[in-house]
Amino acid sequence: MDAILPVLLFVAIAAAVSVGLVVFAQLIGPKRTSAVKEMPYESGMDPIHDTRRRFDVRFHLVALTFLVFDVELLFLYPWAVASRSASGIDAAVGNGLVSSRGLVFAGAMLFIAMVVVGFAYDWRKGVFRWR
């Protein structure tokens, strides 16, 4: 029970803060409505035409690029933390989980090279240019 108590406390505080912020916004926030505020809004385009018209794909490219680089950063963070601590990569090498520290470094550099290639590809395709 001692091991799960901090997790339960964290979940309880997170739920209380979430509910508190929503209630606070409802109580304090402005309540003026207008026709423009009530109009639906979708991906930067006002829905005033037919729903079956052509849609600009740039919004999806930017979102997909963000997700790719965000997930790649999530993979790099544990490697960076493990390489700084004495009980990280050295312990894995000592226990025989990894053959050498250089192999882990080479894998991380290969991963970073793939991120750079992806970034260059997106840049070359013009994903970052907003027309």
Residues 51-106: tens digit of each pLDDT: 666 667 777 777 888 888 888 888 888 777 777 776 777 777 778 877 877 888 88
Query: Closest Cα to residue 36, out of 50, 47, 22, 25?
Result: 47
- The model's pTM: 0.49
Which position has the token pair 């790719």? Answer: 68
pLDDT at 30: 82
- pLDDT average, residue stretch 107-113: 87
Where do the structural domains in the chain lie, given as residue ranges?
54-125
Exposed (0-12), middle (13-18) or buried (19+): which is 121, by Cβ within 10 Å?
exposed
